[in-house]
Amino acid sequence: MSHLFDLSGLTALVTGSSLGIGNALAWGLAEAGADVVVNGRNAERLAEAASRLREEGFKVHELPFDACDAGAVAQAVDRFEREVGSIDILVNNAGMQHRAPLEDFEIEAFDRLMRTNVSSVFYVGQAVARHMISRRQGKIINISSVQSALARPGIAPYTASKGAVTNLTKGMATDWAMYGLQINAIAPGYFDTPLNAALVNDPEFCAWLEKRTPAGRWGNVEELVGACVFLASKASSFVNGHTLFVDGGITASL
């Protein structure tokens, strides 16, 4: 059965892959055989991430662009497809968090969060899908969140943005499955990442999370790799528009 999960000969673009979840997924896809294209806005940090992958013998491309800039996205994707080769797998991982009481949430922060978490998924997804459609095959994996199904105080706009990602995933599948594309999402629960550093360092929150989550702990980013490889591989050839929760059971219990 291993051939179903073998990504050899395929190229995977992972947005926001210098750090955190995106970096872990880039490593996982590389270990499954894919050539990986790392992306981020910080060219220096991106070069460091690519260097670490190359040290392990993986084939890596660097593609710095701002996923929130539609023009820059289209230019970068089209140039890569023209000069390097096809993007067979896309992981839309770029995202951000901003915490504040909803009544005090700044308009600029709201707009920035929506551009980063939702618009980028549309921009990069559309740019890559146009090439996938012409080849009549491709995999797109959007990174949603457990917050697409649950809410906590202080992150209402983030919750809205991830709900949008989940529903945009359904819409992408509805429009593009006819062309041989599979578009799905992964909804991580609470993972120990730089985005969650403030919570990881809060003993009171950690105690709450351990009681609230049936698994009784934070997730490790490496535990997202299996879900990503599954959705990127032939093993998921008839899975479309689905959101796979990887959350230690937090959405299964009260």
Catalytic residue IDs: 158
Alpha carbons within 13 angstroms on the beta-carbon side of residue 252 total 9
Inter-residue contact 9 to 233 (CB < 8 Å): no
What is the rounded radius of gyration, in angstroms, for the C-alpha atoms of the chain?
17
Q: In 10 A of CB 249, how many CB atoms?
A: 13
Ordered strands of the 11-14 beta sheet: 60-62, 35-38, 11-14, 89-92, 138-143, 181-188, 243-246
Cα gap 29→37, rounded to integer Å: 10
Alpha helix ranges (H) inside 33-144: 43-55, 70-83, 107-114, 120-135
The two tokens of residue 252 are: 């299964």
Inter-residue contact 133 to 179 (CB < 8 Å): yes
**The three-state (H, E, C) secondary structure of 185-254, written as one string:** EEEECCECCHHHHHHHCCHHHHHHHHHHCCCCCCECHHHHHHHHHHHHCHHHCCCCCCEEEECCCHHHCC
3-state secondary structure of 13: strand
